[in-house]
Amino acid sequence: MMGCVLHPPFDPATIQTNSKLALALAPSLAVFPCDDTKQPIHGTPWKSARPGQTDRVQRWWAAHPDAMPGIHLGAVGLIVMDADGAEGIAAFERIAEQHGGVPECPMVDTPSGGRHYYFRQRSGEALGNSRGSLPPKSECTIDVRGDGGYVIAPDATRDDGVYLFPDGDPLDILHAPELPDWLHAILTGKHEEITPEPLPQKAEPAPKPSKEITPGAVRTLDMGHPRLRAWVESAFDAEIRALVQCGQGGRNNQLNTSAFAVFQLVAAGWIAADVAHGALVQAAEACGLVKDDGRRSVLRTISSARKGGMAQPRQVPEEFQRDEEIAAAAVELNRELAVSADGTIHDAATGEVIEPEGIAATWEVPDLSLLREGRRTPPTFHPEWLGPHVARWAEAQARATCAPIDYVSVSLLALVGGLLGNRRRPFAGTEWTEPPALFAALVGDPSSGKSPASSAVMSLVNAEEASLDADYRQRLREYEEEKLAADAIMAAHKSAAREALRANPELATAIPVALPEGFREPVKPFLKRIVVRDSTVERLATLSAENPAGLILHRDELAGLFASFGRYSGGGGSDRQFFLEANGGRNFTVDRVKSGDPIRVPHLSIGIIGALQPDKAAELLKGADDGFVARFLWSWPDPVAGFRIARETFDRGPAERVVSRCCRLHMQSNPPPMPDSPVMLPLEEPALAVLERFAQAIKVRESKASPLMKSALGKARGHALRLSCVLTHLWWGADPQAPWEEPANIGEAAVVTACEMLQTYFLPMAERVFGDASIPVAETHAAILARHIREKRLSTFNASKARYTVGAPLRESSAMDAACAELVEAGILQPILAPKKRGRPSKDFFVNPAIFAQPANG
């Protein structure tokens, strides 16, 4: 699956669905999927959303095509004033009038009748979220969405309407003006911190109606006055019937007229807003307007008419007299709820117990990614990428080692790349070539299965490596015999020279310096190698010279290798440079320490397969980026739950066949003194076109990526070329029906698969490692506290007492407070509102029951 290349700005008229809107916004805005309650889709790590994550957005909306795009405001430096309903808009305008009027800024009308005012955060000062700051919540709600918060994107569609941006291009919010001084002064005063987007307290959106409509069947509110009810239903049904019966040519105008009139009834308090909206959409479907103009166009018209109708409530006919009882019943659509210390919910105005069973109705959908210590969800490795024969083996091998299939599959890819080494090399066009050797890093906590999985894969070469040196003992014996003979000849030559000098000293200058006739210094044989498990750079250079086809370095712990680079100990720059060159397959020379003879390697090609713990990965990512970490293909899956001892046997034949065939490929022989060189495999023309499109898409992402990710993206096209060569030989080598005749070129299928692997697995995995290996302290502490709560199954707890129960590192009060604040923001904790009394707050919290449903490894 290739990534979608988008070039903003776009034409809003062409955006018909939330999915298309999300893809159009992704290059410039940090978007993530939200449900109809404006909450992030369960399990979505929305705080990690960043501009340019197009492939990630594609995956999200492939799973949730109707989800509304939310915008992570902190990631793009925006702050939004969220005015709730007509009262909120009026309140904001009243405040703004005291400071010269509402500033010129992007404004988005929400389906509920409110408005979002967009501003840019001030440089160097990112304000957070607050509720009810403009003015106090007792008057009306104007919430602030800033750093750590989000809003639904302009032009997003919900069942009850559109987040309408009348001026056109939603990307104009990126050009919002800076937060004005007067507004900044208000926001920096004392305000109540809240979670980003609370659950709406109004009625849920109505379900989508069927296409058949029966006037009079739509329920209005129980107003307690039969004649008024009959009049309202008649007026409502007349507008709906007019729209249902309207013919082509005037349907959109009739929709605007009917919607305006219906929402006048809503504004008067006689019709529920969700019922009105549902009936209008149903009528538009019945008359064919949705089919011809599109649902999005219909929702836009309804939203526009709604704004006008809500501003002009329908007046009561003179023949009716609205008494206080009718008025009270008509407007009682919602109530403010408060949680008391005993865990029950009370009506804030009357004190009436609403839900004595508990507080479940007040919980938001929590962000349970904190249970993963803030880590984003790992992408999925699809074994079918390996081909049908190897896929079955990889799944069985993963079960046998009780490890994620990622560790097995990525190790195999790196093994095959290392075996191809200098034997084969892909090239694109006329100049671009890459060695197929790969650097693979398996990241995971201890006992996550990294070592068993990679060791099982590396054992595939044991038989091949042994067969390479089956005659080593014989060659060594022959060398020793030749060496004895050569030493004897040389000794006799030296003895004859000395005797001649004694007999006639004047012959000193006449004795020839040439070696004796027939003398030849034998070359000592060496053990042929495929895999090296621990070695110095000098020794690796020697082994590379002795094994020109290339080597594979397998390290159970990569931290030891990185330590030699000076990452932890300082120095080691030449070692680091050695491995940078080893990834490039170029000519390299190492000066020996003990002897003056340099070691020259015509094609230095060494693949790396190793394991790394997350804390060591965090150390590796510190400091200046020289492109070293970007050369790795990273794999950090979630561990397999539980433990199972393998009892069944499985066929290792496909994997062994791949290794055997790759080991028997030969380099290209060149006439002396030129060294042997790799055989070049060209890409077919369709494959070149796929690789070119992939590289163009990556270029677009590079411009907006973070430094480390920018470096990884820069290496992605090279990795795609390498992987296409690896996959070509993997598929060929595993197929028992494939002819021995090796591949002569690289086809389109291999390049498509390589690009898909990078788009959907290796690049998202790099984001996971680069962004999450070093997690902020507060989030790490919050994860520790959340896991403690889940383990003890606490429904409530006291933070002060928990400091001593949880222990280090939450023993300090400030650390515990910060952890609790993170969990409150994530919707996992909720403060208990105790009666006001002197002294410090009690720091008691309710626990969201959803935390106990989270899997243990999540």
Full DSSP string of 423-439: TEEEEETTTEE-----E
Per the prediction, the chain carries an average pLDDT of: 79
> Max Cα separation, the chain?
150
The pLDDT assigned to 386 comes to 95
User: Under a CB-based contact definition with an 8 Å cutoff, are residues 693 and 5 in contact?
Assistant: yes
How far is the CA of 706 from the CAs of 50, 615, 623, 757, in angstroms? 9, 21, 14, 21
Q: DSSP 3-state assignment of 46?
A: helix
Q: Cα–Cα–Cα angle for 17, 19, 24, nearest 5°?
A: 95
User: Under a CB-based contact definition with an 8 Å cutoff, are residues 588 and 601 in contact?
Assistant: yes
Q: Which of 749, 843, 752 has its CA nearest to residue 803?
A: 843
The pLDDT assigned to 65 comes to 86
Q: Cα–Cα–Cα angle for 451, 454, 457, nearest 5°?
A: 145
How far is it, in rounded angstroms, from Cα 546 to Cα 538? Answer: 13
pLDDT digits (tens, 9 = 90+) for 335-371: 333 434 344 444 444 555 444 333 444 566 777 766 7
pLDDT range class, residue 277, cuts 50, 70, 90: confident
Q: In the beta sheet, which residues pair with residue 425?
A: 680
Is the pLDDT reported for residue 437 higher than 50? yes
Rounded to the nearest 10 degrees, the angle between the axes of helix 295-311 and helix 273-286 is 140
The dihedral built from the CA positions of residue 490, 491, 495 and 496, taken in this order, carries a sign that is negative
Tokens of 51: 């501009």
How do strand 68-72 and strand 150-152 relate by DSSP bridges? antiparallel
- Of the listed ranges 519-523, 612-616, 663-667, 795-799, the least confidently predicted one is 519-523
Q: Look at 763 and 87; give whichever has higher pLDDT.
A: 763
138-141: Cβ within 8 A, 24+ apart: 139/91, 140/84, 140/85, 140/87, 140/88, 140/91, 141/84, 141/88
Q: Look at 853 and 588; give whichever has higher pLDDT.
A: 588
User: Under a CB-based contact definition with an 8 Å cutoff, are residues 439 and 583 in contact?
Assistant: yes
The pLDDT assigned to 672 comes to 78
Is the pLDDT reported for residue 538 higher than 70? yes
How far is it, in rounded angstroms, from Cα 15 to Cα 18? Answer: 8
E strand or H helix at 88? helix 85-97
Q: What is the mean pLDDT of residues 244-267?
A: 84
Q: In the beta sheet, which residues pair with residue 532?
A: 553
Q: Cα–Cα–Cα angle for 24, 25, 29, nearest 5°?
A: 155
The pLDDT assigned to 737 comes to 81
The pLDDT assigned to 266 comes to 84
How far is it, in rounded angstroms, from Cα 833 to Cα 843? Answer: 10
How far is it, in rounded angstroms, from Cα 436 to Cα 419? Answer: 9
Q: Cα–Cα–Cα angle for 191, 197, 201, nearest 5°?
A: 100
Tokens of 523: 């070359």
Q: Look at 248 and 692; give whichever has higher pLDDT.
A: 692
pLDDT range class, residue 205, cuts 50, 70, 90: very low
Is the pLDDT reported for residue 735 higher than 80? yes
Q: Look at 621 and 88; give whichever has higher pLDDT.
A: 88
User: Under a CB-based contact definition with an 8 Å cutoff, are residues 373 and 780 in contact?
Assistant: yes
DSSP conformation class of 28: T
How far is it, in rounded angstroms, from Cα 216 to Cα 230? Answer: 9
Tokens of 645: 């001892």
How far is it, in rounded angstroms, from Cα 4 to Cα 23? Answer: 8
Is the link from the previous residue into 103 a cis peptide, with omega within 30 of 0?
A: no
- The contacts of residue 255 (CB under 8 Å, 6+ apart) are 243, 280, 283, 284, 289, 298, 301, 302, 305
pLDDT digits (tens, 9 = 90+) for 663-695: 999 999 888 788 889 999 999 999 999 999 999
Q: Look at 167 and 293; give whichever has higher pLDDT.
A: 293
pLDDT range class, residue 131, cuts 50, 70, 90: low
The pLDDT assigned to 359 comes to 41
pLDDT range class, residue 53, cuts 50, 70, 90: confident
How far is it, in rounded angstroms, from Cα 88 to Cα 94? Answer: 10
Is the pLDDT reported for residue 531 higher than 90? yes
The pLDDT assigned to 196 comes to 40
The pLDDT assigned to 690 comes to 94
The pLDDT assigned to 491 comes to 84
How far is the CA of 188 from the CAs of 127, 144, 181, 304, 517, in angstroms? 8, 11, 11, 34, 95
Q: Which of 445, 461, 443, 459 has its CA nearest to residue 407?
A: 443
**Whole-angstrom Cα Rg for the chain:** 36
Is the pLDDT reported for residue 2 higher than 50? no
How far is it, in rounded angstroms, from Cα 702 to Cα 157? Answer: 30
Q: What is the mean pLDDT of residues 819-823?
A: 90
- Of the listed ranges 214-223, 364-373, 635-644, the least confidently predicted one is 214-223
Q: DSSP 3-state assignment of 675?
A: coil
Rounded to the nearest 10 degrees, the angle between the axes of helix 763-772 and helix 54-63 is 110
Full DSSP string of 395-412: HHHHHHHT--HHHHHHHH
The pLDDT assigned to 746 comes to 96
Burial class (CB in 10 A: 0-12, 13-18, 19+), 512: exposed
pTM: 0.52
SS (H, E, C) 436-479: CCCEEEEECCCCCCHHHHHHHHHHHHHHHHHHHCCCHHHHHHHH
Q: Which of 525, 529, 560 has its CA nearest to residue 544?
A: 529
Is the link from the previous residue into 205 a cis peptide, with omega within 30 of 0?
A: no
pLDDT range class, residue 136, cuts 50, 70, 90: low
The pLDDT assigned to 217 comes to 38
CB atoms within 10 A of CB 251: 21
The pLDDT assigned to 527 comes to 78
Tokens of 445: 């906590």
Percentage of the chain exceeding pLDDT 70 = 79
The pLDDT assigned to 808 comes to 73
User: Under a CB-based contact definition with an 8 Å cutoff, are residues 745 and 809 in contact?
Assistant: no
User: Under a CB-based contact definition with an 8 Å cutoff, are residues 151 and 73 in contact?
Assistant: yes
User: Which range scores top for mean pLDDT: 28-42, 490-504, 585-599?
Assistant: 28-42
Is the pLDDT reported for residue 383 higher than 90? yes
Q: Look at 375 and 760; give whichever has higher pLDDT.
A: 760
The pLDDT assigned to 364 comes to 65
Q: Look at 681 and 142; give whichever has higher pLDDT.
A: 681
Q: Cα–Cα–Cα angle for 479, 481, 486, nearest 5°?
A: 90
